[in-house]
Structure 1
């Protein structure tokens, strides 16, 4: 792997001057002649919540494993906190894989301590922190229960706490919301926000757009192993002009000449893209022309619309199919 290659110092968020927790350029991974990841670039500032968004099979898990040094790329460069061999700084990283796995006979607090010990945390300290974490997250009553005695949601929370018990600087979560009910999804979102408030960098993969939209300041959209977009959520949404819906009392007049070329009329309503110059000059023309403004709303594109625009309808349909399959479980 060409570790001597320099990586761009660009960040995914405009004017962001924070150092990078994760940086990657041109990551490629092939399995038995099939290219799973093809030229991925990423730049994640320290303390950010960053999402890798795409349908199942898009290359999300492979990308995360390359970033962590679990597997090496066939081409490209990746660094975590400046290290090009991420496995050598494993104590700084907490990783929750998509494939969940705990020893069923272990008690909950022991399972957390065991996971911490794998990252270098002394076992006794891990046991103490394990009980404290369970208590903090309303699971103190389950500390001495075996994993097999816990509900699925509780067991997933235990594994997540085991990912955090050694207090990592970087937390990597692969499809962390999968299989959680709405209540536990909300709890996980709060935990992720709390980690970021403490300065921890969080990167997670997901095929659920609303989690990325609510939590992330930056996203990488991945489809077919490629990343057609990596940057801020705001910039992704801005790829599509905001839409204006205008209702006027008058149906005609010179003010109509001020409407954009794409304006479409529906009765007394007009729908059009927000002009690049803004709404002010149009409002002035409407008022001076006695259009009689009854209502005016401006709606920005959501991340779902941006995903369709950037990744294409086929990738969006695959994403929706994944969501439907997950809801049916």
Structure 2
């Protein structure tokens, strides 16, 4: 091997120092010390199950990294505020984003102008988990099964309304998918405030909601709400009496959303790999399953950056087709 030798002179001493620093930056261990300061995870859902999942993950990452991992909630605007915060941050791994299909897939087709482009400006790290959806109806609705619900609503769309937490959001898109699959017609009522939505659902002012199992579980035992079917291969532990869509006679229906982790585009690959690896360990732990997965119905995924990027590519195509079919624009 030919070695590089420099004559001993002040100028060449500088050259040697520059070469050494360049090699250090390019070496595989250049980011081995990450993180060297607190990391921030930004999301849009304070107090929601997603918030609980992110805070669990943050606490475990803080232990693994020996650095504080802070959770910064920026609610509103269909995750645009939270996503923009991260998209405009330095691409150094110290500001991360957790969001749903609203940010990763839907918004670019719902809004004509956005302050950032999620596909261009955010770097996928991992799909964290899937959240199965269920069909929720008022406890006194005269339909105890999904088939009875279809029979009740079919041909009477003007008489029945379904709720969502906002036009273009995950549960709106899921209900539209269900409505088409079941060949029923219902009026959409978007809500800005969750408690008002649940009050109207319990009292029967709206006839159904597609949401996560955690939303319904507290109301089911008292009989104020009924869950007709839930996505997934098996029943949820928090709703053991609720059949899956397959058990209800509709095996082709699978309604769910997801949460994903991203960083500003340009974040070094070594840092992204470190984050993904440590997050995967947390999501696949028994403690995550006991404290987050089972209570909220979340199914851990922990995909690689490449797999998550490919998943988003497919998800964006389906979101584009669905939103265009609905002629839906929010600005």
TM-score bucket (shorter structure): under 0.3
Higher helix share: 2
Structure having greater relative contact order (Cα 8 Å, sep ≥ 6): 2
Higher strand share: 1
